[in-house]
Chains A and B, each alone.
Chain A
């Protein structure tokens, strides 16, 4: 079993839809959680960074962490074609610990 599980998709939604992307993990030591966005033929770029359980908002993006269920989510409101990319969750147990990435979910937002 992988330490971090993420549905690879692809996920296709119409413009304006709410998108939910999810990851589950098995290692209860993970404390820091991130979401990276990767456009085609580009490197991943950091989108959201959270530490504690609960929600963190940044514009149209909300990151949610549920440590008791070992489950994290990224919500995208009012999705746009420019949001079409692969979204990777990532997590690590402590400062300096090894960062583990999910497989990535490919998202396509249709105009």
Chain B
């Protein structure tokens, strides 16, 4: 298995632009998580899906952030408009059921100038 696949690995954009991060979970996993990691705040859960349905989005910082999971093999996290304080590493992770053994992707390093 290729593991959790995220794209792009790096994204540099200007303030105000739309950013879309993509994730392909491990086949067979039915829970998907989006995390953000910064030096100041560590690893924060933004949103998670179970069976493609958003279960908890309380970590989404603002309405500028949105996430979708149209099918079991694909999810997106969108930021519109982006701001410099959104600069961070964004991780996608997946797991089987309520077993919290998360498998993480390699992350997307986002820089908003």
> Would you call A43 and B91 a contact (CB within 8 A)?
yes
Q: How many positions in chain A have a CB within 8 Å of any CB in the partner chain?
A: 20
Residues A86-107 near B (CB distance < 8 A): 88, 92, 95-99, 101-104
Q: Is B42 a contact partner of A102 (Cβ separation < 8 A)?
A: yes
Cβ-based interface call for B104 (8 A): yes
Most buried by B among A34, A92, A96: A96
Q: Among the listed stretches A44-52, A67-75, A76-84, which one makes contact with chain B, having 4 or more residues with CB under 8 Å of it?
A: A44-52
Q: Does B42 lie within 8 Å of A95, measured CB to CB?
A: no
Q: B45 within 8 Å of A by Cβ?
A: yes
Interface residues of B in 29-77 (CB under 8 A from A): 42-43, 45, 56
Q: Determine if A42 is an interface residue (Cβ-Cβ < 8 Å).
A: yes
- A45 in contact with B104 given A95-B98, A95-B99, A98-B56 (CB within 8 Å): yes
- B100 near A43 with CB under 8 A, answer no
- Cβ–Cβ < 8 Å partners of B12 in chain A: none
Q: Does A60 contact B (CB under 8 A)?
A: no
Most-contacted residue by chain B among A42, A92, A97, A102 (CB, 10 A): A42
Docked Cα-Cα span, A88 to B43, in Å, equals 9
The answer to whether A43 touches B104, judged by C-beta atoms less than 8 angstroms apart, is yes
Q: How many Å from the CB of A40 to the closest CB on chain B?
A: 11
The answer on a CB contact under 8 Å between A43 and B107 is yes
Is the Cβ of B99 less than 8 Å from the Cβ of A103?
Answer: no
* Extra contacts besides A42-B106, A95-B99, A103-B42 (5): CB < 8 Å: A34-B101, A41-B107, A88-B43, A101-B42, A104-B42
Q: List chain B positions with a Cβ less than 8 A from chain A.
A: 4, 42-43, 45, 56, 91, 93, 98-107
